[in-house]
Amino acid sequence: MHGFPKHHHIDELWKHARPYIETYCDHEPLTALGVCINEFCSFDYDGSAFRYPVDREGKPHLPEWTVVNIRHFGETMQRIGNLLDDAAEFLYINLQQMNENRGAY
């Protein structure tokens, strides 16, 4: 795949990103993160259910849900965000080191 994907299918984005992240990060938290992403995708595959009240056809998102535990949802999203932030930092640092090493020769 060249360039960035032009969609918000979180599970597909994760499949694309994980191999790069695995190069520099522990596998255990990434496995847990993958489980969370897959669970999230089971009800919001394209990341729109919590951003928009209806889909493109005007149908309500998650009509069978009457209650969402916002505290639990927020805490889980915070943990996922922290793991992804850590992974991004590892990747950034390693890319900087690679670029510095190229300049040393």
Whether 68 is covered by a domain: the verdict is: yes
Confidence bin at 72 (pLDDT 50/70/90): very high
Whether 83 is covered by a domain: the verdict is: yes
| Residue 51 belongs to domain spanning | 10-104
Determine the residue type at 97: Q
Whether 1 is covered by a domain: the verdict is: no
Whether 30 is covered by a domain: the verdict is: yes
Total number of domains constituting the chain:
1
* pLDDT attached to residue 57: 94
Whether 3 is covered by a domain: the verdict is: no
Whether 4 is covered by a domain: the verdict is: no
Confidence bin at 104 (pLDDT 50/70/90): low
Can you give the pTM of this predicted structure?
Answer: 0.70
Whether 42 is covered by a domain: the verdict is: yes
Name the average pLDDT for the chain.
Answer: 86
Nearest to 65 by CA among 45, 51, 49: 49
Whether 5 is covered by a domain: the verdict is: no
State the Cα–Cα distance between residues 44 and 35, nearest whole angstrom.
14
What is each CA distance from 72 to 41, 81, 95, in whole angstroms? 17, 14, 35
Nearest to 16 by CA among 6, 26, 50: 6
Confidence bin at 7 (pLDDT 50/70/90): confident
